[in-house]
Structure 1
Amino acid sequence: MKKFLKGFYFAFNGISYSFRTQLNFRIHCLISLLVIAVCFYLGLTTAEWLWIIAAMAIVFMAELFNTAMETLVDLVSPKFNPKAGLIKDISAAAVLIAALMALITGILILLPKIIHAS
């Protein structure tokens, strides 16, 4: 049981590291809080909440994987290397795609409700 609980400690340590060191992670957190507030205000259905939560989770996972990849690349290639830079660029592109898909998901769910509420 101790080993199991220690796994949570390490996971929260990774989230904490990302929050402290990655501006984009903090921006995603802020945007997520704003989206959650809007969702509560608009009274989303359970299915709509699930799509919004899934989109946010994918963005956070992509951002965490990106941070891990950047940290690993810095470890194995401390000096400038074009391929190391390319790895970081590709990892950042994955976050961008996840964020764009989350944005599209949010627009498809929230925009009609916002228009209807006006």
Structure 2
Amino acid sequence: MKGLLKSFVYAGSGIITCIRQERNMRVHLVCMIYMYSYLLIYDFFEVSRTQFAIIFIANAIVVMGELFNTAIEAVVDMAEEKFSEKYNRLAKISKDTAAGAVLVGAIFAVCTGIAILAQPDAFRAMFAYYAEKPYMIAVLIASLVLSFTFIFTGFNFKKKDK
């Protein structure tokens, strides 16, 4: 049982490391938070359980892709330090291919979102909501400022050693 708990702790540590180190992972997370907020909290969109599951799977593919990409980049960087310059071409192929996999997953997620969430009535309801409650525009703007701060700094304001 102790080993199982440790494996979850290690997995969580890997996820947190990816969030801290990878700006694109933070971009994906912020987009997901806004999307799930509009789906679950505000309830503007009509989405079936099946559609919700498809969206969730698409998001999981993107997050998994970022995690795999980060792991591959770390291993390649470690190998590059150990081996000669001769391996640089192979390292580039590894990193570019892993990044390409993330891009394919992200495009899939965006297309899935468009296919399911292209609901003009939902967007009209959203705009009406903000028109009726203008103070919520300030809340939205504040959340966007926090989101951009998170994306571009990871809330890590310490100077990085180089």
- Shorter chain as denominator, the TM-score bin is over 0.9
What's the counterpart of residue 39 of structure 1?
39
Of structures 1 and 2, the one with the larger relative CO (CA 8 A, separation 6+) is: 2
Select between 65-74 and 33-42 the one with higher mean Cα deviation: 33-42
Higher helix share: 1
Question: C-alpha offsets along residues 38-96 of structure 1, whole Å, 9 cap, x if unaligned?
Answer: 22221421111101100000000000000000000001112651210111000000000
* Selected match of 2:70 from 63, 67, 71: 67
Give distance in 2, aligned partners of 1:46 and 1:83: 43
Indicate the residue corresponding to 1:116 in structure 2.
121
Q: Name the structure 1 match of 2:21.
A: 21
| Structure number, greater radius of gyration | 2
Corresponding residue number in structure 2 for 1:92: 99
1:102 Cα deviation from its structure 2 partner: 0.3
* Number of the residue aligned with 1:2: 2
Percent of aligned pairs sharing the same letter: 37
> Which position in structure 1 is the counterpart of 2:137?
none
- For structure 2, the residue ranges without an aligned partner over 5 or more in a row are 125-162
Displacement of 1:110: 0.1
- Structure 2: how far apart are the matches of 1:38 and 1:92? 29
Q: Which amino acid aligns with 1:63?
A: E
For 1:13-59, what per-residue CA distance to the aligned partner results, in whole angstroms no more than 9, with x for missing partners? Answer: 00010011110111111011011112222142111110110000000
Query: Which residues of structure 1 form unaligned runs of 5+?
Result: none
Provide the C-alpha distance between the structure 2 equivalents of 1:63 and 1:43, rounded to a whole number of angstroms.
29
Aligned length: 116
Query: What amino acid is the match of 2:121?
Result: H
TM-score by length of 2: 0.68
State the superposition RMSD in angstroms. 1.2
